């Protein structure tokens, strides 16, 4: 039996109308499913986002929901924060060269405009549009929750793992590594006469040097830019203070060339270069000492969405 195009359109319109009456929790679930499908598609076509994959978006959504509750948001606003969080990097590429916030807000509006009420959706859309900018005193609770949840990921010790993997796929870093290796090749006497094995060893050594520099530099930048705890709600400060101290401890270990810190950073960098999932790589990571075991334990707790619970 053939179904007319008109009847199919009517059925779709009725489904969207019903979705508009759904509670915000269900609307957030619709957005989550859309993001899961996108993640699966990107993996299928070989365009996996190393640092901005579905697990990252999911965590920001879960943490934003928890933070919104702490900030006194209504249940609807908590779910709007979850919806905005799970979609906030929908248009993000693995680079810092291109802004993604405005594009992400447009995608969210397009996905949800026929499924959600105008006022609540606008809160979520604005939260995505401005999620990289510090919220003002009169910003909505939803926007504040998204910013603090996304920023918490930059300040948690888990970010060392994620950041190291991210450095391997950033376009600007790839270009810098290529130029650095070319420079070192020219400076190294008899390089062209070496065996291919020795050439590859030297090139990996030089890339490792740049990888450790990238991780150290970005960690220092993130702590400096986002680590002022007085900017955070009082309820979040104690937990984040410990995570910042752990990152500072890691930086000191890198300066001292301690093997556990270098191993942790380089293991994740090369995992990122191979296009591996950050969270899967963290779970598989084999610590070589007590200190990186602590980092792994903290990271898994964060990965599972238990930091703000």
pLDDT at position 187 over 80: yes
**DSSP labels for 25-80?**
HHHHHHHHHHHHHHHHHHHHTT---SSSSHHHHHHHHHHHHHHHHHTT--HHHHHH
Buried b (16+ CB within 10 A) or exposed e, 24-61: beebbbbbbebbeebbeeeeeeeebbbbbbbbbbbbbb
Alpha-carbon torsion (108, 26, 17, 7), positive or negative: positive
Going by the DSSP 8-state scheme, the letter that residue 232 receives in this structure is S
pLDDT in tens, 241-285: 999 999 999 999 999 999 999 999 999 999 999 999 999 999 999
pLDDT in tens, 97-145: 778 999 999 999 988 887 777 788 899 999 999 999 999 888 999 999 9
Residue 10's pLDDT band, with cuts at 50, 70 and 90, is low
pTM reported for the whole predicted model: 0.87
**DSSP labels for 152-217?**
HHHHSTHHHHHHHHHHTT-HHHHHHHHHHHHHHHHHSTTGGGS-HHHHHHHHHHHHHHHHHHHHHH
**Domain spans of the chain, in order of start:** 5-150, 158-303
Rounded Cα gap, residues 12 and 40, in angstroms: 24
Architecture in CATH of 5-150: Orthogonal Bundle (1.10)
Q: Which of 87, 85, 90 is nearest to 68 (CA)?
A: 85
Return the H-helix or E-strand segment holding 300: helix 290-303
Tokens 């084999």 found at: 286
Q: Which ranges in 74-117 belong to alpha helices (H)?
A: 75-87, 101-112
């Amino acid at each position: 039996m053939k179904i007319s195009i008109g009847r199919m359109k009517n059925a779709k319109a009725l489904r969207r109308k019903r979705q508009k009456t759904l509670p915000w929790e269900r609307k957030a679930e619709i957005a989550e499913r859309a993001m899961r499908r996108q993640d699966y598609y990107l993996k299928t076509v070989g365009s996996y986002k190393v640092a901005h994959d579905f697990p990252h978006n999911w965590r920001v959504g879960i943490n934003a929901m928890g933070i919104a509750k702490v900030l006194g948001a209504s249940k609807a606003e908590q779910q709007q924060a979850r919806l905005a969080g799970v979609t906030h990097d929908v248009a993000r590429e693995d680079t810092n060269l291109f802004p993604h916030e405005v594009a992400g807000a447009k995608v969210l509006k397009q996905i949800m405009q026929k499924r959600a009420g105008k006022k609540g959706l606008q809160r979520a859309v604005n939260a995505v549009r401005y999620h990289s900018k510090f919220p003002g005193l009169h910003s909505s609770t939803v926007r504040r929750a998204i910013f603090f949840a996304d920023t918490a990921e930059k300040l948690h010790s888990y970010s060392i793992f994620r950041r190291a993997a991210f450095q391997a796929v950033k376009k600007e870093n790839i270009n810098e590594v290529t130029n650095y290796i070319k420079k070192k090749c020219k400076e190294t006497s008899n390089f062209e006469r070496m065996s291919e094995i020795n050439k590859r060893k030297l090139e990996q050594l030089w890339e490792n040097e740049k990888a450790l520099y990238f991780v150290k530099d970005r960690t220092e930048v993130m702590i400096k830019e986002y680590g002022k705890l007085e900017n955070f709600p009082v309820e979040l400060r104690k937990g984040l203070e410990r995570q910042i101290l752990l990152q500072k401890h890691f930086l000191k270990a890198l300066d001292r060339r301690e093997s556990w810190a270098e191993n942790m950073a380089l293991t994740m960098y090369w995992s990122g270069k191979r296009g591996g999932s950050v969270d899967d790589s963290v779970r598989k990571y084999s610590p070589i000492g007590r200190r990186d075991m602590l980092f792994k334990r903290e990271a898994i707790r964060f990965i599972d969405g238990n930091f703000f619970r």
